[in-house]
């Protein structure tokens, strides 16, 4: 629920309850989510943390069942990319366990 185009997913070997999934954006934003069973990641109303479809947002929040979207743990806006190169989609990957750089451990 709430994904547009999930692309590559993986579990964290140290925290098996953490399931990482990249979601390729439609227009403005690429995202990575930690998936929770039964969670809604907002697609159709949100693109990442950005409001995407105002009419669906109004419908969802005026209904008896609001969307309650779970927002991404990281991502990027297409406007932050190099304009000469154009936008790029996001691909999921793995939780990194560096033995040489503790700053990257679990990223």
pLDDT in tens, 17-61: 888 899 988 888 889 999 988 899 988 888 989 888 767 666 666
- pLDDT of 95 reads 80
Instruction: Map out the domains of the chain as residue ranges.
Output: 6-104
- pLDDT of 25 reads 85
pTM of the model: 0.75
Give pLDDT tens digits for 71-83.
Answer: 999 888 877 666 6
- Tell me which of 1-5, 78-82, 89-93, 94-98 is least confident: 78-82
E strands, 1-107, in order: 6-11, 19-23, 29-35, 46-47, 50-51, 74-77
């Amino acid at each position: 629920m709430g994904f547009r185009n999930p692309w590559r997913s993986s579990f964290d070997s140290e925290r098996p309850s953490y399931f990482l999934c990249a979601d390729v954006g439609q227009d403005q934003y690429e995202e990575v989510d930690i998936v929770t069973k039964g969670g809604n990641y907002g697609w159709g109303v949100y693109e990442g943390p950005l409001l995407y479809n105002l009419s669906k947002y109004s419908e969802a929040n005026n209904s008896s069942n609001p969307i309650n979207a779970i927002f991404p743990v990281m991502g990027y806006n297409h406007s932050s990319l190099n304009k000469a190169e154009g936008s790029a989609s996001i691909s999921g990957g793995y939780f990194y366990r560096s033995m040489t750089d503790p700053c990257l451990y679990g990223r």
